[in-house]
Amino acid sequence: MKKLLKVSLIYVILALIGGVFYREFTKFNGFTGVTRLADIHVHLMVLGTFMFMILALFAQRTQLLEAKKFKLFMILYNIGLGLTVIMMSVRGITQVLAMNLSKGLDASISGMAGIGHILLGISLILLMTILMKVSEEIKDESNCSI
């Protein structure tokens, strides 16, 4: 459980840094339009901080951390979220700086962000299967004590 709370703390720090970067970078560049940088803070706070806080609660009541595929979930999820946020940062910086991107570079930024989202999706499905399994083990244990 402590491991999950530490991961959550890391995401809190990253979310706060992301929010400050958005505010200061756009202010420094005199940018007043819409940019992907605005979404970084929320993505890190919800998909990072809150996700791992909730998982810590599950870990307290279940054998979540001992599940065979939980380590795989952690790796895929953190890579997926990291890649997504990095590409959101790249996209946002190019928007604020009004950079003209070639079609290839524009597509590669979108493609890498898409890969991050795919990894997030796969890891969330994996997490749901893990949670279903550990919740059944709780049900089985509760039936034994009756």
- Residue 142's pLDDT is what? 54
Where do the structural domains in the chain lie, given as residue ranges? 2-135
Q: Per-residue b/e over 42-70, b at no fewer than 16 CB within 10 Å?
A: ebbbebbbebbbebbebbeebebbebeeb
- Residue 143's pLDDT is what? 55
Tokens 């929010």, located at residue: 19
What tokens were used for 119? 């990894």
For CA atoms 35, 110, 118, 59, give the dihedral sign. Answer: negative
Whole-model pTM above 0.85?
yes
CB neighbours (10 Å) of residue 37?
22
In tens digits, the chain (146 residues) has pLDDT values of 899 999 999 999 999 999 999 999 999 999 999 999 999 999 999 999 999 999 999 999 899 999 999 999 999 999 999 999 999 999 999 999 999 999 999 999 999 999 999 999 999 999 999 999 998 877 655 555 44
Side chain identity at residue 86, one-letter code = I
- Residue 146's pLDDT is what? 43
